[in-house]
Amino acid sequence: MTDQRNRRTGACFALLAVLLLGLGVLNLLVGSSRLGVQEILSALLPGQGGSMAASIVRSIRLPRLLAAALLGGALSVSGFLLQTFFGNPIAGPFVLGISSGAKLTVALSMIFCLSHRIAISSAGMIGAAFCGAMLSMSFVLLASRRLRGMGMLIVCGVMIGYICSAVTEIAVTFADDSNIVNLHNWSQGSFSGIDWEDLGVAALTVAAAMAFTVLIAKPMDAYRLGESYAQSMGVNIRRFRAALILLSSILSACVTAFAGPISFVGIAVPQLMKRLFRTAKPLVMIPACFLGGSVFCLFCDLLARFLFAPTELSISSVTAVFGAPVVIWVLLTHRKGAER
């Protein structure tokens, strides 16, 4: 039976890897300008730069595809961490207002820098997003002390999200002309316009956060039995909870800094992965959520670009179409007893 479990886990990982690869290739092939397989292949190989195809693939499609995979994975791991923290199956960076908080501070610092003609670095963006994420997070934490039950916490988070979004909209409306279009696109959520420098910084941040996340997989496992049991097994609860909050904030801040707020990935993907793998063991779920989030976002980004081409949809509206039903499904099938 245990062998059977291991085999299932292996098969699921293999499935995700195949999907990831397939969607990656599709994302390279599909786009507003038609490119043949031959052209794309030669563009991927080093040398022979300069051609139109090469520059499209190298500076538009490839970074966008990598960003979707990287940030999608980060986002769903962030959701998984939050679900563990709150013992709440529908917690996630978007519904708890954490993405919106990050969005607000990033928008404000972008407007400030643009109007003062200061160039803002990729790391600066992440820093700003992290401050916003922590701001929202502290509101949610304060609220969670007073609120009982998972519903109220989510309502509170959604309200925080609305407040932050409203302030962002107001700020964008009164911002100076030229870069508003760009800012507006970003605040709707999109994987476009990410260059190689951004991608490098994002990859480093996500990789570091993921490494720490894997290191807290063991206490996360014990925490599934509740705080008291975890403590009785030797988990330092205070340190563990702080690590969960910090890591989930860093991951979702990194996503928001470069792609704007992206809805429902953080809830939907961990839930889907739990049901696919038939386990919730963190050591399996952390890589599974990352891969699953990559696959989910590559798929949604493909649809966003392809469905009404040449008009592009915002990534958030596509993820919502697929993610929100998952949340409803979770609510309907969630057993009462599973609340902590």
Distance, CA of 303 to CA of 221 (rounded, Å): 36
x/- binding map, residues 66-105, to other proteins, per CB under 8 A? Answer: -----------------------x----------------
Supply the minimum distance, in Å, between the C-beta of residue 299 and other proteins.
25
Phi, then psi, of 202 in degrees rounded to 5: -60, -45
Distance, CA of 8 to CA of 12 (rounded, Å): 6
Q: Residue 263 is encoded by which pair of tokens? A: 């809805």
Distance, CA of 8 to CA of 33 (rounded, Å): 41
Among 232, 307, 325, 328, binds other proteins (CB under 8 A): 232
Q: Which of 39-47, 243-251, 314-322, 332-340 is the region at the interface with other proteins (rule: CB under 8 A)?
A: 332-340
User: Quick one: 79 or 101, whose CB is closer to other proteins?
Assistant: 79
State CA 15 to chain mean position distance: 21
User: Quick one: 37 or 207, whose CB is closer to other proteins?
Assistant: 207
Site membership for other proteins, residue 229 (CB under 8 A):
yes
Q: Residue 199 is encoded by which pair of tokens? A: 């991608």
User: Quick one: 58 or 218, whose CB is closer to other proteins?
Assistant: 218
How buried is residue 46: exposed, middle or buried, by Cβ count under 10 Å (0-12/13-18/19+)?
A: exposed
Among 236, 307, 309, 328, binds other proteins (CB under 8 A): 236
Among 226, 307, 325, 331, binds other proteins (CB under 8 A): 226
Distance, CA of 93 to CA of 80 (rounded, Å): 10
Q: Which of residues 247-306 bind other proteins (CB under 8 A)?
A: 274, 278-281, 283
Binding residues for other proteins, total number by CB under 8 A: 31
Among 102, 109, 221, 255, binds other proteins (CB under 8 A): 221
Site membership for other proteins, residue 231 (CB under 8 A):
yes
Number of helices and strands in the chain (H, E): 15, 0
Are 320 and 45 spatial neighbours (Cβ–Cβ below 8 Å)?
no
Supply the minimum distance, in Å, between the C-beta of residue 3 and other proteins.
11
